[in-house]
Amino acid sequence: MDTEAFLSTSYTLIRSVAAVPPGTSAPTLPSTSALSTARSSIPSPSTPNALTGRGPAATLAHLTADIAPALAGHNRSGRYYGFVTGSTLPVAEAADNLVSALDNSLQVHLPGQSVATEVEDVALRLLLRLLGLDDGDGESWAGRTFTTGATASNVLGLACGREAVISARLPGGGADGSVGELGLLGACAAAGVKEIQVLTSMGHSSLSKAASIVGLGRHAVKELRYSEAEPWRLDLDAVEKELQREGVASIIAVSAGEVNTGRFATTGFEEMRRLRDLADKYKAWIHVDGAFGIFARALPAISEFARLREFTAGLELADSITVDGHKLLNVPYDTGIFFTRSSHTPQAVFQNPNAVYLSTPTPSSGPAIPSPLNIGLENSRRFRALPVYAVLVSEGAAGVADMLARMVRLARGIAGAIARGDELRGDYELLPEQKGAGEKEEEEENTHIVVLFRARDPGLNAALVEKIQASGDWYVSGTKWEGQPACRIAVASWRVNVDEDLAFVKGRLAGIAKEWKDGSSK
C-alpha cells in the first residue's frame, strides 16, 4: 500500500472508531475488559523483540483495536463532566488533521514562505473580539501568543508580571537592564526589592506551580479571601494593605472561574477598576486566570446571562490574561492562549538571542508580526492556532455564543434540580451551602458551567463519585469542599443537549439515591 492510500485508509478507520452514532451517547470511560486487553497488548520495553517493527498496517490495527477502546471518551461523549474538559468540534478536528498533515512549525515569522503566522495572528485578534477585549485590531493587547494551556499561560503571566514590577523599580525604569538580562537576584538587588508576592483568592494550583517555575516560589502565593462564605472572591481591602508593604513587589492574580465552584474573584467593573487604580499606584501587575471563566464574556447579551457577564466586566483592565481553547472553545488539546498589553514585556522575557539563522526578514508586505519564539516559551511548536481559526471562522460569534449558552443552561438546570427539585433536593445539596429559597435561586443565576454538590447521606456522599463513574455512561470529578467529599460537574462539550442531558443526570442521581436507601448498595 502506498503512502497516500495508507493515510486515506487510516483516516477512514480512525473516524469509524471515533464516530458516535446519531441519537446515542458514547461511554465516558473504557470497560475493565478493554483496559485489560490494551495493557496486555502493549509490548514490554525490556523484551528482546520490543523494537521489532510491526509495520504501519499492523500498528494501525493495534492502535484502533487495542489502544483506542481503552481511552476515555472526552471527545465522544457530551456527558463527560470531568475537570473542565471540552470536546472537539468537527471543524476543529479537521483543521487539526490538516496541521498534522502539513506539519508546519510556528517558531519564526516568514511571510515570504508561509501564511501560518498571519493566520495565527488573525486567530488571536478574532478571539480578542469574541471576548470583548478589543474590536479585533489587537492594539490593546500587543503581546499575544498561543501556548500549551492555562498552566503555561500562567507561567507567561507571572514571568511578564515579574519582569514588569521589577523593571518599574529599577533606575531608569529598567532601561539599562531587566530581569531577563540581569537575572532575578541581580534585578531585585538593583531595584531594592526583597520579595515578590502573588495575591489571589482560591487561585488554581497551576498558579503556585508557575510561581515556582519563574523563581518566585510557591510560598509567594498569598490567599486573600473575601470571607468564609465566599472564599473565591478577592478581598480588595487586604490587597491594598499588602501592596503598601515596603520593599515588596506584587502581582495580583484574579481567578475568572475558580476551579471548584466556577465563581469569579471580582463581582464587576467597579472592583476591577479599583484593582487597576491600586496596581497603577503601587506598580503592581494584574494577571487574570480566565482559562474557562473568560468565555462568559462571549455569552449572548441577554438578561438570562446578565449576571455572568457582569462578573467578567472589567477584566479588560488587566495586564495579562490566560485563556484555554481546549476547554469551552472546544478545540483539541493542547491549546492555550496568552494575552498581555505590551509587546515589549514578553520580548524582554522570552527573547531568543544569538540565533541569526532564526531571524525574521524585514517584511516588504503583510503585517509586522514578531516571531513566536521571541514572545513565548517554545522555540518550536505546533500550528495549534489553525483549529481556533477554523472554529471562529466557521461558527462566528453567534455560533460560539449559542454553544456556550447550552452549556450554561444545562449546568443551571442541574443546579436547580438539586437545589429545588422534588426528585433530588432531599438527597443532595447544592454547594456552596445557602439558606433561603431566594438565595438558592440566586445561586443558580450565579452558576456558569460548574455545579458543585454532595449527597446529604455521609455514606452515599463518600461513594457518590465512584458510583457515577462505575457506569461508564457519564463522568464527574471528585473534589472536596470544606474538608468533606464533594461532586463536581463541569459542562464543557459542544455535544450538550440540554433537555436530554438534564433528564439523564436527574434520573441517574435519583436512581443512585434510591438504590442507596433501599440498601442494595450498602
The reply to whether 316 and 172 lie within a common domain is yes
- DSSP for 390-445, written as a single string: HHHHHHHHHHHHHHHHHHHHHHHHHHHHHHH-TTTTTTEEEES---SHHHHHHHHH
Q: Which residues pair with 196 in a beta bridge?
A: 249
Residue 500's alpha-carbon distances to 28, 163, 232, in angstroms, are: 16, 50, 32
Note if the pTM is more than 0.75.
yes
The reply to whether 513 and 375 lie within a common domain is no
Q: Residue 399's domain spans which residues?
A: 392-518
The reply to whether 125 and 196 lie within a common domain is yes
Q: Is residue 446 part of a domain?
A: yes
The reply to whether 239 and 304 lie within a common domain is yes
The pLDDT score that the predictor gives to residue 486 is: 97
Q: Is residue 378 part of a domain?
A: yes
The pLDDT score that the predictor gives to residue 436 is: 52
Spatial CA neighbour of 295 closest among 284, 305, 283: 305
The reply to whether 196 and 314 lie within a common domain is yes
User: To 10 degrees, the CA torsion angle through 85, 102, 396, 74?
Assistant: -20
Tell me 7's DSSP state.
Answer: H
The reply to whether 436 and 457 lie within a common domain is yes
Amino acid at 80: Y
**455: burial class by Cβ within 10 Å (0-12, 13-18, 19+)?**
buried
The reply to whether 259 and 137 lie within a common domain is yes
Q: Is 270 helix (H, G, I), strand (E, B) or coil?
A: helix
H helices of 133-235, in order, are 150-167, 179-182, 184-191, 205-213
Q: Is residue 169 part of a domain?
A: yes
Last residue of one domain, picked from the residues 348, 382, 416:
382
The pLDDT score that the predictor gives to residue 214 is: 97
Q: Is residue 161 part of a domain?
A: yes
Q: Is residue 498 part of a domain?
A: yes
Q: How far apart are CA 119 and CA 89, in angstroms?
A: 19
Largest pairwise CA distance in the chain: 76
Q: Is residue 504 part of a domain?
A: yes
The reply to whether 309 and 161 lie within a common domain is yes
Q: How far apart are CA 191 and CA 88, in angstroms?
A: 47
Number of structural domains, the chain?
A: 2
Last residue of one domain, picked from the residues 382, 417, 449:
382
Q: Is residue 57 part of a domain?
A: no
The reply to whether 415 and 292 lie within a common domain is no
pLDDT, tens digit only, all 522 positions of the chain: 688 899 888 989 988 888 887 666 789 999 999 999 999 999 999 999 999 999 999 999 999 999 999 999 999 999 999 999 999 999 999 999 999 999 998 889 988 899 999 999 999 999 999 999 998 888 899 999 999 999 999 999 999 999 999 999 998 876 667 899 999 999 999 999 999 999 999 999 999 999 999 999 999 999 999 999 999 999 999 999 999 999 999 999 999 999 999 999 999 999 999 999 999 999 999 999 999 999 999 999 999 999 999 999 999 999 999 999 999 999 999 999 999 999 999 999 999 886 655 666 555 555 579 899 999 999 999 999 999 999 999 999 999 999 999 999 999 999 999 999 999 999 999 999 765 545 656 778 899 999 999 999 999 999 999 999 999 999 999 999 999 999 999 999 999 999 999 999 999 999 999 999 998 544
Residue 511: which CATH number? 3.90.1150.170
The reply to whether 168 and 194 lie within a common domain is yes
Q: How far apart are CA 84 and CA 318, in angstroms?
A: 23
The reply to whether 470 and 374 lie within a common domain is no
Q: Is residue 66 part of a domain?
A: no
Residue 307: which CATH number? 3.40.640.10
Last residue of one domain, picked from the residues 382, 413, 447:
382
Q: How far apart are CA 344 and CA 367, in angstroms?
A: 17
The reply to whether 405 and 366 lie within a common domain is no
